[in-house]
Amino acid sequence: MARKWFGTDGVRGQVGDSIIHPEWVLRLGWAAGHVLTADAPDRPRVVIGKDTRLSGYMLESALESGLAAAGVDVLLVGPLPTPAIAYLTRTLRADAGIVISASHNPYQDNGIKFFSADGYKLPDAQEEAIEAWMDRPMTLSASERLGKARRVDDAAGRYVEFCKTTFPADLNLRSMHLVLDCAHGANYKVAPMIFGELGATLELLGAEPNGININDQVGSTHPAALRAAVLRTGADMGIAFDGDGDRLLLVDDQGELLDGDEILWLLARDMCQYGELSGVVGTVMTNLALEQALAGCGVPMLRAPVGDRYVLDAMRSHGYPLGGESSGHIITPANTTGDGILAALRVLAIMRRRGEALAALRGGYRPFPQVLTSVRMAGAQILLDQPVARQLIADAETRLVGTGRLLVRPSGTEPILRIMVEAASAGMAADVSAILTAELGKLAMAHAPARGC
């Protein structure tokens, strides 16, 4: 069944449009309350967390009202990273968890994503069931069965202690100098607590949210400030999160950036040496170099569709303990979704055990040059189904035969056509990308709907 509203990670859009609007979100909460707690006991409970966007207050109230109308009690935990909501949903024995966030998007956007009682992203069937419920007339539970809400005052502390338990008890971060870039987002409070309590000396970027500065020239989508801070301060490592804390990028002590693929390589190589790795799950965007490096260690790699929920589905079905995306979603055995803090702690543990700087650990992996571009447009899949577009893509693939890969796909979260070109040489990747992006851009303009006066 085609879904009307849910993308690869819940629903997302600009605040005030037909979806990210209090009236619609109230109905979403009501529908989700019925679907996610259908098998719950007499008083079902749902955890609600959010990032630091100003619109989160409004949407939190709307969700709370919709859930209460469905007879669901609400546990409010305030601004916390997405992986914290997955963890708290499990440990508080809630029937579901909800995160109000648009991840790496600017503050004008927001979104809603869901976790089931076991802390995993919802399967397609449940999202489709929620959409079906939204078409029903909205009715209230009996007055005596309406839900109520309360705040979980120690929610942040619970997650902080959980994260610290994943770091080896015989190690600490004393004498380590770290730069943390929290993207003015959901990690602004808990990340400094975790790394500071483990002993690190910290310099903070993006840790002063005001409701509208989330992801604004900071965080994993804008690493320039982090690189500059690492070089200026002589830090051992820079750590960048995105707005909701489920992504991670690193900067080594030489100012060089490590993306999600290289972080996966570091973790996979370490786990393999300890006999903890049966396989790794990447995505169709994962650099070919990672697949080849893992093969050299005798470790298989599967490619899932883009989206950490699909990576996790493949990990669970094949029994693989590690997976992630180039963008920095890294899923380790300790949590049920991408968790930037846990992945960073694992890298730091490797550095501590080996007594080596991050730059020295990067041997054995050299990524293929990769060029990522996008064309902003609505109806990307419709365009891709046209013969002219298919021929343009086929011509580009012909140029890359034996030397690289091409991937053209609609974004699951934005009205964008994404284009990835990977080749053995940077020149070839740039040339093929420039031609294909320009031609598909022209085709998109030619097929754009006419605007009225």
In this structure, are residues 250 and 259 in contact, taking their beta carbons and an 8 Å threshold?
no
| 77 has a pLDDT exceeding 70 | yes
Query: Where are the chain's structural domains?
Result: 11-153, 159-362, 370-446
**Which tokens sit at 29?**
């909460």
Specify the 3-state DSSP secondary structure of 408: strand
Top-tier CATH class for 370-446: alpha beta
Q: What is the CATH number of domain 11-153?
A: 3.40.120.10
| 388 has a pLDDT exceeding 50 | yes
Q: Regarding the domain with residue range 159-362, which homologous superfamily does it belong to in the CATH classification?
A: Alpha-D-Glucose-1,6-Bisphosphate, subunit A, domain 3 (3.40.120.10)
| 145 has a pLDDT exceeding 80 | yes
**Quick one: pLDDT at residue 230?**
98
Query: Residue 429 — very low, low, confident or very high, per pLDDT cuts 50/70/90?
Result: very high
Burial class (CB within 10 angstroms; exposed 0-12, middle 13-18, buried 19+) of 242: buried
What's the CA gap between 53 and 107, in Å, rounded?
A: 6
| Max avg pLDDT among 29-38, 116-125, 258-267, 307-316 | 258-267
In this prediction, what percent of the chain has a pLDDT beyond 70? Answer: 98
Q: Average pLDDT of 218-222?
A: 96
211 vs 8 pLDDT, higher one? 211
In this structure, are residues 384 and 443 in contact, taking their beta carbons and an 8 Å threshold?
no
Q: Average pLDDT of 370-399?
A: 88
Element (H, E) at 264: helix 260-273
Global pTM? 0.88
In this structure, are residues 328 and 28 in contact, taking their beta carbons and an 8 Å threshold?
no
- Tell me: the pLDDT tens digits for 300-340? 999 999 888 899 999 999 999 999 999 999 999 999 999 99
What's the CA gap between 253 and 451, in Å, rounded?
A: 51
Return the number of other C-beta atoms located less than 10 Å from residue 120's C-beta: 19
In this structure, are residues 260 and 280 in contact, taking their beta carbons and an 8 Å threshold?
no
| 453 has a pLDDT exceeding 50 | no
**Quick one: pLDDT at residue 452?**
45
Residues 6+ apart with CB under 8 A from 264: 280, 282, 286, 290, 322, 323, 324, 330
| 103 has a pLDDT exceeding 90 | yes
| 161 has a pLDDT exceeding 80 | yes
Mean residue pLDDT of the chain comes to 93
Q: Average pLDDT of 289-306?
A: 93
Query: Residue 1 — very low, low, confident or very high, per pLDDT cuts 50/70/90?
Result: low
Query: Residue 19 — very low, low, confident or very high, per pLDDT cuts 50/70/90?
Result: very high
Specify the 3-state DSSP secondary structure of 122: coil
Residues 6+ apart with CB under 8 A from 261: 282, 286, 287, 289, 290, 324, 326, 367
**Quick one: pLDDT at residue 451?**
47
Q: Do domains 11-153 and 159-362 have the same CATH topology?
A: yes
The residues that are catalytic are 103
